[in-house]
Structure 1
Amino acid sequence: MSAQPAPKIPSDNRSRIIGPFDRMAQWPWWLLLAVMIAAYIIFLIITDEQMQKTFWFISGQTPTALWGGQILFKGMAVTLTVSITAYSMALLIGMTLGLMRSSTNPFFYNFSSFYVEIVRGIPMLVLLLYVAFALTPIIVNLLNSIGIPIQTRDVPGYVRAIIALAIGYGAFSAEIFRAGIQSIERGQYEAARALGMNYFQIMSRVILPQAIRRVLPALGNDFIAMVKDSSLVAILGVQDMTQLTRLYYSGNFLYMQSLTMLAFMYLIMVVMLTRFVRWMEHRLQRGSR
């Protein structure tokens, strides 16, 4: 007796059977897991006294000060202030060096290449220590030589940290801007020159607006990386979240609670910044259409 052929499933039934599994496979399960972990940590903050103390100390405020409407989250505010200020300076450095790296002038090209290659080859922690303890005294001596009375101890740690982060990330931003500038079609340069524009008009009105749109995702990723690297400023005694955490667990040895809370707070910041960068990307893309 010959085997009977298997019944064929109609295509519409097959789509109804496979469809739900495909949708489940495409669902962001990692996000569900992250939300569950976040909910568990928030639950611990609410119910566990040690976690509550850790949270308020790292934040830089007490519950009374928080509900009293005073400045919230001192540690987080220091972290964001250092990151935003340093990255704003890094963008200016990077844009200038990116233009120089794209220039046909040998001096500009070689100077910018020297800066980028040297700074990118130095670890960020080493660069931070070098700027704080080696470069700052040199700058102070130069200022004293031109009649500006200042001492090395007068330069706060957070200022040294901002300068170091700006120098380091300026080199990374320079390569991003260079790639964006060189990605613009050559015909746009020629068309702008045919309209009588000079170099600065071409760059400011034609090239840079398009280049910035193209490299915005990379710049956003660099800023998020700087927020995380800003934790290195704790080595200079800057009262950011990491330094407050070190001060907290050095007195009570609650390493697990302290470091878990610190990682959670950094994660919240990074997720929010990532969403903001994505929103900016979509907004610029809609505006360019």
Structure 2
Amino acid sequence: MDLDFTAILPSLPYILKGIGVTLKIVLVAGLLGFAFGIILAIFKISKYKALHWFADIYTSIFRGTPLILQLMIIYYGAPQIIGFEISSYYAAVASFSLNSAAYISEIIRAGILAVDKGQKEAAQALGVPGNRMMWDIILPQALKNILPALMNEFITLTKESAIVTVIAANDIMRRAYIVGGDQYRFFEPMIFAGMIYYLMVISLTFVGKLVERRLRQSD
């Protein structure tokens, strides 16, 4: 067995710099996916069939195809159509946010439908406009109920962000692979990269439980 973790010690700062790249992609894609997911969820419960169909078709496409395929289409295929290249960062953010929006929309839709109908009836009886009722009454209650599911989606996004390695984005995984190639030792840097992802997921899980606990206390 030829293992020597001390051999990669000088390269650890280089790998750690990938955390910033990973978080930058995940945070921006997560926020955009969440915002677009809300819009799609509202489309799905809309009385207008065209909006409903659009949201359903969109969700079907992005949930029915591999994320890595979507990433490669945007990074390698889109320039053929739009006429200019897209950076690996913007391609990653675009593909992750579009994909995440499909899953988040289903989570939010289920949360909206789970809100007690009495809330809607009471708001209508008080003459609250439909848009204001959705944003001020229904959505806040729905989001409180689906917070664990949203955190799980964000955690999944964090782990899946590692596939940006295929488009040469200098995230954690890419840097670990480069170190392995330079030193002809892949096991040690990959294990270190895995530890970083694990600690990130554990941290996100802790934050999610903390927020959920505070929301319960505020009820």
> Is this a same-fold pair by TM over 0.5?
yes
Q: Does 1:57 align with 2:24?
A: no
Runs of at least 5 residues in structure 2 that lack an aligned partner in the other structure? none
Runs of at least 5 residues in structure 1 that lack an aligned partner in the other structure? 1-43, 60-73, 142-151
Q: How do residues 134-283 of structure 1 correspond to structure 2 at under 5 angstroms? A: 134-138=77-81, 140-141=82-83, 152-153=84-85, 155-283=86-214
Equivalent residue for 2:56, pick from 113, 116, 126: 113
Q: Does 1:125 align with 2:68?
A: yes
Q: SS state of the match for residue 46, structure 2?
A: coil
1:129-185 superposed Cα distances (whole Å, 9 cap, x missing partner): 1111223443x34xxxxxxxxxx23x3111111000001011000000000000012
Distance 2:79 2:58 in 1: 18
1:212-271 superposed Cα distances (whole Å, 9 cap, x missing partner): 000110000000000001101111111101110111111111111111111111111111
Distance 1:278 1:51 in 2: 35
TM-score with structure 1 setting the length: 0.72
Distance 2:116 2:148 in 1: 20
Aligned residues with identical type, % of pairs = 28
Distance 2:157 2:15 in 1: 20
Q: How many residues align?
A: 217
Larger Rg: 1
- Give 1:103 shift: 1.5
- For 1:89, give the aligned amino acid: L
Q: SS state of the match for residue 103, structure 1?
A: coil
Contact between 1:245 and 1:258, CA under 8 Å: does it hold in 2? Answer: yes
Q: Name the Cα RMSD after superposition.
A: 1.6
- For 1:56, give the aligned amino acid: P
TM-score with structure 2 setting the length: 0.94
Alignment correspondent of 2:27:
84
Q: Which runs of 4+ in 1 moved over 6 A?
A: none
Contact between 1:94 and 1:171, CA under 8 Å: does it hold in 2? Answer: yes
